[in-house]
Structure 1
Amino acid sequence: MEQTTKNLVLASIGNIYEQSKSSSLNAGFFESADADLKLVSEYFGVTPNQALIVAMVFALNYKGDTVDIKDLTEFFECNPLKMLEYSDDFETLFNLGIFKKIKSTHRMKLSLANDQFIINQKITEAILLNRAMPVVEKERINDIIELIEELYKLGKQVDDKEMESFELFRHVSSMLDTNAHFPLVKKINEFEFTTTDTYLLLYLIWRTVNGNEATEVGRIAQGIFSSSSARINFVQDIINGDNRLISENLMEVVEAEFFDDTEVKLTANALTLIHEHGIKLFGKKKKSKDLIEPESITVKNLIFNEFEQKQLDFLYSTLSDENFIATQERLEKKGLPKGITVLLHGLPGTGKTETVFQLAKTTGRSILKVDISRSKSMWFGESEKIIKRIFTNYTEYTKNCDRTPILLFNEADAIISKRRDAGTSNTSQTENAMQNIILEELENFKGIFIATTNLSKNLDTAFERRFLFKIEFNKPSLAIKSQIWHDKLPILLQEECDQLASRYDFSGGQIDNIVRKAEIHEIIHGIGVNFDNLLEFCNTELLAKKHESNLGFSKK
């Protein structure tokens, strides 16, 4: 490299700067600046027209300014439309990595009008150090997650009114073309979606990756459309189901009571597609009030009669890691359903739900707990979708668990009881439809499903064969109640435990209430309870029953 390179390049840039000022970019300017434009174009490896833009941006940057079309138009004193002839050159220089681009703070809905340019710092350093033109390129995107994040950031610029929709779509198309080698992009391109739908899908993927199962449609619209009318039409189309992502079973609408609350989420089909193309959405287990991890469960000693305990021991053994895997392999090999389905039924307070928790604790399994009341929707057909979604979500969650989790339908009386006449009410129709879906799901279920109910005698016969284990929880006998009292309150003498067991016909849950009051008593008074305190607590536990006959109209 000659020692005069630095001076030659800087001199040529300076000459171009001086000669182009107020030149209107006429023919005379290009004739007089021909030699300087050639030198700059040779150094940067660009065309003479591009060399002009490079020289101007370089010089104006050193005045402390970023450069946009307006700056150059005013400097050249040329027709603004003249600068549009160079629009492709600006984009080329940006793609070559010679320019970096930032968004202008003054917003105009015109292509190129909002872009400001600066020279890549590596280039200025090379010139000042008298070095050859360095190898520069736009910063490459390393993986699909990084690409989706960058696309999401573009939507944030639209939302913040820093970018117009047409610019968003231009950038999205360019970035997807540049990164078409990623398997997920290839797969999405096969659908031949519009740019809007492609961006919508990628937007939802990013939101899902970050733990947002559903996103408000209005929020999405603000990140895509600059125009209010376009946003409204977009939302209306989705609510009406008029969208390719919906018809291709990649996106579903989540129920809402009001227009503004409408949400969308990826379908199970979309989650599978994404998983197959390199994105593990459930790499970290979803934290929610419906997910109970085994480490969060407190160990409790549950006491049952011999027959109940024998059945529970069988269930515990079945769900131990080694036995569970062997059982599923054996059943599948013999063409039998491989899912373990369990019905725990009996009186309230007899330990059904706590049994599930202790089972999960012992076997190291997570619990996905379903609130049946929240599965019923005011909207026709939505309850069925919610139930279907519960099973698909369980299946997706299972894929990334070391051990198969437990799907728990707690207090499932309403949806496993005998089906009603469909003509009686809308509620009956909804419950019957939900039951049909659950029956269908359990037919091919491959995981661990447990339902608890207080009303087993009202169980629909269609459910009987769906449950592999059916364990009844009876009110504890005197001997068992005495053991429970002693286990909960070891300070009691055996005869005191026997007396409480015979005097009060309590379930295990009711005994727990007494124990809790005993703990509160000790906190407040600083001393443990005595037997008289316990008798008082027991009597107040029975208060509702004592007064039950006094409610309503008295008989004469």
Structure 2
Amino acid sequence: MAILELNIENESPKISDLSIHIKCSTMELLAYKNDIEDLFARGFLKSHYLDIVTLESWKGEFSIMPDVQDAIFSNKKLSVTSPQPLSEVELCFEIERQIDHCRTVKYNRVQLYNQWNVIQRNYGHYDMIKFLQNNIYDLNDCYSFLYIVAENLKGYRTTDLSNTSRGLFANMGIRIDFENKTINKEWPAIKQGYINVNGDLASRANLGLTTKACKLLNSFKIPVSLGKKPKNDSLTMADSIKKKKMFYNAFAKAELEQITASLKPLKYKQITRSLKGEGYPTGICTLFYGAPGTGKTEGVYQNAKATGRAV
């Protein structure tokens, strides 16, 4: 119940957060570590950082699975199945999700980097992970390569270098070093002919898989291809939107606050599941109306900023 209460407040607690919430010491709570591990293994809890269930999952932030939350709120029975290992394709998508999350909502990159050790221990037998290990790629090289693979699997022939580096590095200096290394083709994956880089400036450079990389990944049963259209990189990411203080009348302010609350991750999942359960299209569509200069467009941008979405 303590985890549920914190999840409702849009928090994914760690063991230390739980101990504060239920007013006991961390050492007292660690006596129940095996029970928490069992909840992960049985599919009741998920890690906030990576969709991989291991004996280390309890060490990070975690939350109750959405289906379990829905069953609790609607007071209905639920058959929970134990989580299965991720496939190589799912692993790529999961790492892409984590990097995108780092870029849009200032995700904890230390946890992102720590997950690479978890991946190697639990998925080191996968051909793709073996390939990355055998080529002595460092952690950032591995994550960048997997991110490009995931983008290709989604149909994007190229991906933006600056978007990738913003997800990987919080420190501007390290980010610039990585971008320069990539543009100067000093990245091992580029030297070895697996990645193409086009552009001489980070803001305009794109990365993509080569024919050599596609053949290799296809041999691993990963269905990448070069026959797709380039990605449309016209999105404005949440972290690039400047936060502004907006002034509305009481009615408009209440409406906007309701929209923002509905777009928070937990509430949004509840709404979309309820709509789907009733047979309606999922998602939220909002009409902003008013005279020019009343804050319609800026309201959209500030809402995107507050909820970690792109425009």
Interval containing the TM-score (normalised by the shorter chain): 0.5 to 0.7
Structure 1 counterpart of 2:190, one-letter code:
I
Which SS does the other structure have where 1:261 is aligned?
coil
- 2:104 aligns with 160
- Quote how far apart the aligned CAs of 1:139 are: 4.2
Match of 1:137 among 82, 100, 106: 82
Distance 1:260 1:275 in 2: 30
Q: Identify which of 198, 202, 205 aligns with 2:149.
A: 205
Name the counterpart of 1:193: 137
Cα deviations across residues 122-181 of structure 1 (Å, max 9, x unaligned)? 9x98xx99xxxx98533432x322221111111111111252221112234323532334
Alignment of 1:105-504 (within 5 A): 115-118=61-64, 121=68, 137-141=82-86, 143-256=87-200, 258-282=201-225, 285-286=227-228
**In structure 1, what is the Cα distance between the partners aligned to 2:47 and 2:116?**
16
State TM-score, norm by structure 1.
Answer: 0.33
Q: 1:186 to 1:94 in 2, by over 3 A?
A: farther
Identity %: 15
The verdict on how the C-alpha distance between 1:223 and 1:88 changes in structure 2, with shifts beyond 3 A counting, is farther
Q: CA deviation at 1:94?
A: 6.4
> How far apart, CA to CA, are the structure 1 residues paired with 2:32 and 2:184?
40
Uncovered stretches (5+) of structure 1, i.e. residues with no partner: 1-54, 104-110, 289-556
* Counterpart in the other structure of 2:23: 76
Q: Extract unaligned runs of 5+ from structure 2.
A: 50-56, 231-311
Deviations 1:327-386 (A, max 9, x none): xxxxxxxxxxxxxxxxxxxxxxxxxxxxxxxxxxxxxxxxxxxxxxxxxxxxxxxxxxxx
- Residue 435 of structure 1 corresponds to which residue in structure 2? none
CA distance in 2: counterparts of 1:86 and 1:236, whole angstroms: 49
8 Å CA contact retained: 2:37, 2:58: no
C-alpha spacing 1:223/1:91, structure 2 compared with 1 (3 Å): farther
Distance 2:155 2:24 in 1: 53
Deviation at 1:248, TM superposition (A): 2.6
The one-letter amino acid paired with 1:118 is: I
Q: 1:282 to 1:235 in 2, by over 3 A?
A: closer
Structure 1 letter corresponding to 2:45: F
- Measured at CA, do residues 212 and 117 of structure 1 come closer, stay the same or move farther in structure 2, by a change above 3 Å? closer
Structure 1 residue matching 2:207: 3-state secondary structure: strand
The number of equivalent residue pairs is: 216
User: Shift of residue 202 of structure 1?
Assistant: 0.9
Is 1:67–1:117's contact at 8 Å kept on the other side of the alignment?
A: yes
- The CA RMSD measured in Å over matched residues stands at 4.2
Contact 1:70 1:113 in 2 (8 A): no
Distance across 1 between alignment mates of 2:192 and 2:212: 9
Structure with max Cα Rg: 1
Bigger RCO (CA 8 Å, 6+ sep): 2
Which string of whole-angstrom CA distances, capped at 9 and with x for unpartnered residues, describes residues 382-419 of structure 1? Answer: xxxxxxxxxxxxxxxxxxxxxxxxxxxxxxxxxxxxxx
CA contact (8 A) 1:144 1:182 kept: yes
CA distance in 2, matches of 1:235, 1:287: 24
Provide the secondary structure at the position in 2 that maps to 1:260: coil
Tell me the distance in 1 between the aligned counterparts of 2:140 and 2:59: 23
Confirm or deny: 8 A CA contact 1:216 1:263 kept in the other structure: yes
Counterparts of 2:32 and 2:204, CA distance in 1 = 42
Supply the AA of the counterpart residue of 1:247: K
**CA, structure 1 residues 62+73, in 2 after alignment: closer, same or farther (shift >3 Å)?**
closer
